[in-house]
Structure 1
Amino acid sequence: MIRRFGEAVQSDRRYRMRPGAYAVLERDGALLVTHQQEPIPEFQLPGGGIDPGESPLTALHREVFEETGWRIDVTRRLGAFRRFTYMPEYDLWAEKLCSIYLARPVRAHGAPREPGHSAFWMAPEEALARLGNAGDRHFVARFLGWTR
C-alpha cells in the first residue's frame, strides 16, 4: 500500500494520474531543494512529472537539472506516496504518484533553467520545516532516521 498525504479525496472530483519522480539530494550534510514561485510559493524536493514514454530515472535527471542546474547520481529509491491536489498550472485535479529517490548532486551547471525556480542548500532540519508538502517532509524525516 502506498501512503497518502495531503488533501482528502473528493468523491465528486475526477482525478488524473500524474506520476512523478523526486529526489532527496544530500551533499556535505546539506540538502538541495527547489523553491517554486508559481502558482503558490513553496519549497519542494526537486523533481517533477514523468513524460509519456519516459522512465522515472530519466525524468528525475531531467527535472532536477531543470529545477536546480545540477547533475545527479541516483543512489536508490526510497519509496513512493500519493497526493490528491489541484494543479492550477494545468487546470486539473491530479492524483500525483510521487516516487522518491536518494541522490547526490555531483556537478553544478549553472542556474535553474525552469522559470520561477530557485535552488537552495539547507540543513536537513531546516528543509524538513520549510518543505511545502507532507509527503516531501515524510521522506526527509525518513532520510534523517526520524520515521519509518
Structure 2
Amino acid sequence: MIPRFGQPPEPGRAYRLRPGAYGLLIREGRALLTRRSDDDELQLPGGGIDPGESPPRALAREVFEETGWNIGAPRRIGVYRRFTFMPDYGFWAEKLCHVWIARPLFRRADPIEPLHMPEWVLLKDLPDAVDETGARDFLRLRLRRRSRLAQERW
C-alpha cells in the first residue's frame, strides 16, 4: 500500500494520475533543495515524469531544470501519494511521488526552470525546511529510520 500524505481525495472529484520523480540530493552533510521565488517555498527538486520517460531520467532532467546540477547514482527510496489541485496545469491530480536519493555531482548551469533557485540546507534541518507537506512527512518517516539510512552514505 502506498502511503498518502495531506488531504484525502474529495468524494466525486475526478483526479488525474500524475507520476513524478523527486530527489533527496545529499552532499557533504547538506541537501540540495529548490526555492520557488513565486511562493518562497523550499521543495525537493523534481516533477512530472513525461510519457515514455523513465523515472531516473525524469529525475535527472527535473533536477537540472530546477537547480542546474547534474546528479549521479540515483536510487529509489520510496513513494507516496497526495491529492491536490495543480494550478499551473488547471486540474486536480493524484500525485504519485517517487523519491530518489542521489548525489549532486556538479553544477553545470543556472536553473532553466523559471522561478527556481538552488539552495543548500543542513541535513539536521531536514525535513522542517521543506514546505510541501507530503515531502516533509515522507522525509520525517524516512529519518526515523536514520540508522538504516546512515548505512546509505548520507
Query: Do they fold alike, i.e. is TM over 0.5?
Result: yes
Residue 7 of structure 1: how far off its partner (Å): 1.7
Residue identity (%): 50
Q: Which amino acid aligns with 2:89?
A: Y
* 1:24 to 1:144, Cα distance in 2 relative to 1, 3 A: farther
TM-score normalised by length of structure 1: 0.91
Residue 41 of structure 1: how far off its partner (Å): 3.3
Moved over 2 A (4+): 138-141, 143-148
* Range 29-38 or range 56-65, more displaced: 29-38
Residue 127 of structure 1: how far off its partner (Å): 3.5
Contact 1:6 1:83 in 2 (8 A): yes
Residues 110-136 of structure 1: CA deviation (Å, up to 9, x unaligned):
221100001100012324112122331
Residue 143 of structure 1: how far off its partner (Å): 4.5
- 2:55 aligns with 56
Listed as ranges, the gaps of 5+ residues in structure 2 are 149-154
Listed as ranges, the gaps of 5+ residues in structure 1 are none
Is 2:74 aligned against 1:67? no
**For 1:130 and 1:91, how far apart are their aligned partners in 2?**
27
- 1:2 aligns with 2
* 1:63 to 1:6, Cα distance in 2 relative to 1, 3 A: same
- 2:20 aligns with 20
Aligned Cα RMSD in Å? 1.9
Aligned positions, number: 147
**For 2:2 and 2:147, how far apart are their aligned partners in 1?**
16
**For 2:108 and 2:144, how far apart are their aligned partners in 1?**
28
* 1:44 to 1:70, Cα distance in 2 relative to 1, 3 A: same
